[in-house]
Structure 1
Amino acid sequence: MNVIRPNSLQARDIAVAIHPQTNLAKHEQDGPTVIVRGDGIRIYDDSGKEFIEGAAGLWCAALGFASDRLADVAARQMRTLGYYHSYRSTAHPAGIELAEKLIELAPVPMSKVLLQCSGSEANDTAIKLCWYYQAAMGRPEKNKIIGRMGGYHGTTVAAGSLSGKPDMHVDFNLPLPQFKHTLNPHYYRFHEDGETEEEFSTRMADALEAMILEEGPDTVAAFFAEPVMGAGGVIVPPATYFEKIQAVLKKYDVLFIADEVICGFGRTGNWWGSQTFDLKPDIVTCAKALSAAFMPVSALLINEKVYQAMVAQSRKLGSFVHGYTYTGHPVAAAVALETLKIYEEMDLVGHSRRVGAYFQDRLAAFADRPLVGDVRGVGLIAGLDLVTDKAARTPIPSMEPVERHVREAGLVLRLIGNRITFSPPVIIDESGVDEMLARLDKALTGVEKELAL
């Protein structure tokens, strides 16, 4: 147990703050880690301890944790037009330019952009648009939404229902009844003996088709998927998975929404995960690296088919009755637009491919360790499956020693179930990868000694 000093930042936080995804009782006892400064891929706590941030915060701090350039853009925009809304045919230059840029960068042809404030909001809005579209097409009963077990799409009531994570549902009265969840495409964890990746993918697609048929194709509106499942443990799709899934969706006229909140903007070695895995979505949602996390902003990219249905419903009903006070906030839009300029100047895709290949090659060597059952990743995102018995794929019983040794080594990573996941800031270079993995090596050595593996 930590000793909390009276009037310290920790004590003040305990007195007033609630933290997401936190054991609140343990937090009252131990207090928070207080981060006071960031520099590139490094952060520093209030004791001065330095960490390499291998998770980019929450998958989002693509350019690290401080930026004079983006601060200047935000300040300039605040002095010019610090706020205005986008309701009732009102626009501002930053919002217009950001929408134009996103249409230019879109992974498949898209018609329009709807700016929002967070990834959760973007996915919540996408769900509403799926229902709006089906109503416009004269089939309001086609309203069920399919996600995947282990998938994550946010924490609003609808996006939380769509997410296939039971811990997010318990005692929140979720999921809502029209949300269904098909199988988790985690090949390493769920493949049957002798089953190839292609055979596993066929079984996944067959399961989706069986669910659609059981529910009734005339009741299923849409399917949501992350190109790489992020908060589910960094699950890279097995060979032919999306090819077979998209064939099922097309067969039953089910909209496909690609959740690019984590994968968008260079994470997988392309601008979009949809390009990496050849997805053809009707709607793309994005956030996080859109502004490198320096401002809360998200966007939906909407194809012409869905947009024309929205126009028809708006004409019929008199208005498109949706929006948030901060939709398309000019400061957030200006920062996002400048972030995209920085990505282009640094050759984001080329950098991510080069450093990502180096990272994946270096990380693959960890598969030989007694604690590591599987290593999979793409670009600058990856996951390690930690096991105590490789042959049986037995998950490590507790991640507590892993978390402790990782922190002691001066490293911040995302621990999910029995997996260690990586999504470092995309500005990381080869030397940063070397130092990050050297700290991981130290941490895993400590865990293996402690567990006598």
Structure 2
Amino acid sequence: METQAWQVLDRAHYLHPFTDHAGLRQTGSRVATRGEGVYVWDTDGKRIIDGLSGLGCVNIGYGRKELVNAAAEQMLELSFCQSFFKTTHRAAVTLAEKLASMLPEGLNHVFFQSSGSEANETAMRTIRRYWDLAGQPQRRVVIARELAYHGSTHMAASLSGIPPMYTAGGDIPLPGIVHIKTPYQYRHGPEMNADEFGIVAAGWLEEKILEVGADKVAAFFAEPAQSAGGAICPPMTYWPEIQRICKKYDVLLVADEVVCGFGRTGQWFGADHYGITPDLMQLGKGITSGYLPLSACAMSDRVADMLIEKGGEWAHGFTYSGHPACCAVALENIRILEEERIVETAAAELVPYFRSKLETFVDHPLIGDVRSVGLMGGLEIVQNKKTRESFPYEAKIGEACSTEALKRGLAFRANGDTMSLMPPLVITRPEIDTMFGIAREALDATAVKYDVM
């Protein structure tokens, strides 16, 4: 009765993000109770491998007491400190300094928020303010990509290239944002080799800049690899060509690293993996491994110096910008990542194994494409492998596969019909074996259900 009692309260009062609440009332929520390592338990006592790292955030796994202690110690010393009115505190300053030492060259200034959506809002306000101060106020258009996910606020949802989000209300997308195709080779260039496709896909940015007018384009805004879009991992030629195009037309390059940052790609940041230096870079999720809400918008000297030297008062901020406890947890999280060499170990030992296990699904009757970068992988379900035809949207086959996996003890995310895995960076090889074993069972059961085997 404990699960049912919580479900009754949940239905009565708690509205969930990205949820069909009428459907949820029929099924009831899974009620999580505790987590340890890569596992989460629910009120029925079921142990589930978190193949999603929460939502791409619990990089060092659940149950690390050091992060709890860091928060408690900071709260006892200074539970809150606003950053308005010429006030600062040591945790925020120390974290900003630490991040500046880790980020690509020139990103020396950091503004803190509580979520990735807020970090992307900050980036957009910064872009527009920068060009106003630079004497080019006509540069208002920001180019983003289809299937992008940048958050749920008005501006962040407008940047996102997922049309169903636009129906949530608010006349989204807002003006001044345009989208180009994403480097999704399975759909947009299967006949090309990867290096060739990367150059072609980057060229779509140049085409859009010329279409809009180079003197009107403010920035290109994109994730290094697209998580919610379905684990879309661009070829290695893509991002260097994007950077070249941005420099050619003096367009600011903005990297949304909310998911990719802090080890997801096998390096500390997606910018490191793809060899680029953005003008702005947003961080979140893995900055605290999800233990407390914190995000950051890092700015290059070029951008920050303009705001500082010419901008006067910057009328932007949040009550919880640089919250002491959140900053303290981030510092402890980074210390653990560094001292235990979690990112480096994952890159050397887990990423190749993860990729090899993922590639065993190439011959599965449901899987049309297998793709990954670091510990982010996608298995795209198709109705016809030869023609790459997808199942009808109404079939909801991805959701069906996710349900089958959860029954067997794996959180296996459906991004449309792409089944995505982003396990914590501390997962072990035996746990990877178990994770992929359940994933195969779930896909087999789904294939039987949809008469594909």
Same fold (TM over 0.5): yes
1:118·1:287 contact (CA, 8 Å) conserved in 2? yes
| 1:249-260 matched pairs, under 5 angstroms | 249-260=246-257
- TM-score of the pair, normalised by structure 1: 0.95
In structure 2, relative to structure 1, the CA distance for the partners of 1:303 and 1:184 (3 Å cut) is same
Which position in structure 1 is the counterpart of 2:318?
A: 324
Which position in structure 2 is the counterpart of 1:261?
A: 258
Which position in structure 2 is the counterpart of 1:118?
A: 115
In structure 2, relative to structure 1, the CA distance for the partners of 1:16 and 1:244 (3 Å cut) is same
Cα distance in 2 for residues equivalent to 1:65 and 1:388: 37
Cα distance in 2 for residues equivalent to 1:360 and 1:7: 39
Which position in structure 2 is the counterpart of 1:339?
A: 333
Deviations 1:5-36 (A, max 9, x none): 89700000100011111011111222211111
Cα distance in 1 for residues equivalent to 2:82 and 2:332: 20
Identity %: 39
Cα distance in 2 for residues equivalent to 1:340 and 1:10: 36
Which position in structure 2 is the counterpart of 1:180?
A: 178
**1:121 corresponds to which letter in structure 2?**
E
Matched, 1:99 2:93: no
| 1:434-453 matched pairs, under 5 angstroms | 434-450=433-449, 451-453=451-453
1:313·1:320 contact (CA, 8 Å) conserved in 2? no
Q: CA deviation at 1:239?
A: 4.0
Which position in structure 2 is the counterpart of 1:361?
A: 356
Residues 239-248 or 359-368, more deviating: 239-248
Q: Secondary structure at the match of 2:281?
A: strand
Residues 203-212 or 140-149, more deviating: 203-212
Which position in structure 1 is the counterpart of 2:428?
A: 429
Which position in structure 2 is the counterpart of 1:191?
A: 189
Cα distance in 2 for residues equivalent to 1:378 and 1:204: 18
Deviations 1:130-152 (A, max 9, x none): 01110110011101111100011
Cα distance in 1 for residues equivalent to 2:4 and 2:439: 34
Residues 147-156 or 58-67, more deviating: 58-67
- TM-score of the pair, normalised by structure 2: 0.95
Matched, 1:212 2:212: no
Which position in structure 2 is the counterpart of 1:167?
A: 164
| 1:278-297 matched pairs, under 5 angstroms | 278-297=275-294
Which position in structure 1 is the counterpart of 2:386?
A: 391
Cα distance in 2 for residues equivalent to 1:145 and 1:413: 33
Deviations 1:198-249 (A, max 9, x none): 3333332332212111211111101111111111011000241112222221
* Aligned-pair Cα RMSD in Å: 1.5
**2:8 corresponds to which letter in structure 1?**
A
**1:297 corresponds to which letter in structure 2?**
L
Cα distance in 2 for residues equivalent to 1:93 and 1:37: 32
Runs of 5+ consecutive residues of structure 1 not aligned to the other structure:
none
Cα distance in 2 for residues equivalent to 1:58 and 1:445: 25
2:221·2:253 contact (CA, 8 Å) conserved in 1? yes
Q: Secondary structure at the match of 1:154?
A: coil
* Count of residue pairs the alignment pairs up: 446
2:34·2:41 contact (CA, 8 Å) conserved in 1? yes
Q: Secondary structure at the match of 2:360?
A: helix
Q: CA deviation at 1:265?
A: 0.5
Match of 1:21 among 10, 18, 23: 18
2:402·2:413 contact (CA, 8 Å) conserved in 1? no
1:268·1:352 contact (CA, 8 Å) conserved in 2? no
Q: CA deviation at 1:39?
A: 1.2
In structure 2, relative to structure 1, the CA distance for the partners of 1:368 and 1:40 (3 Å cut) is same
Residues 104-113 or 198-207, more deviating: 198-207
Cα distance in 2 for residues equivalent to 1:64 and 1:256: 32
Cα distance in 2 for residues equivalent to 1:400 and 1:275: 34
Cα distance in 1 for residues equivalent to 2:288 and 2:360: 33
Cα distance in 2 for residues equivalent to 1:30 and 1:6: 12
**1:430 corresponds to which letter in structure 2?**
R
Q: Secondary structure at the match of 1:229?
A: coil
Deviations 1:109-160 (A, max 9, x none): 3221111111111011001000111011001110111110001111111111
Deviations 1:374-420 (A, max 9, x none): 11112111111111211111224422431221112110021111101
Q: CA deviation at 1:66?
A: 2.2
In structure 2, relative to structure 1, the CA distance for the partners of 1:437 and 1:95 (3 Å cut) is same
**1:370 corresponds to which letter in structure 2?**
P
Q: CA deviation at 1:309?
A: 0.6
Cα distance in 1 for residues equivalent to 2:334 and 2:192: 42
Which position in structure 2 is the counterpart of 1:133?
A: 130
**1:329 corresponds to which letter in structure 2?**
H
Which position in structure 2 is the counterpart of 1:410?
A: 409
Match of 1:371 among 366, 370, 380: 366
| 1:46-57 matched pairs, under 5 angstroms | 46-57=43-54
2:116·2:295 contact (CA, 8 Å) conserved in 1? yes
Which position in structure 1 is the counterpart of 2:376?
A: 381
Match of 2:343 among 338, 349, 352: 349
Cα distance in 1 for residues equivalent to 2:375 and 2:2: 39
Cα distance in 2 for residues equivalent to 1:253 and 1:127: 17
Q: CA deviation at 1:171?
A: 4.7
Runs of 5+ consecutive residues of structure 2 not aligned to the other structure:
none
Q: Secondary structure at the match of 1:284?
A: strand
Structure 1 stretches of 4+ with a deviation exceeding 3 A read 4-7
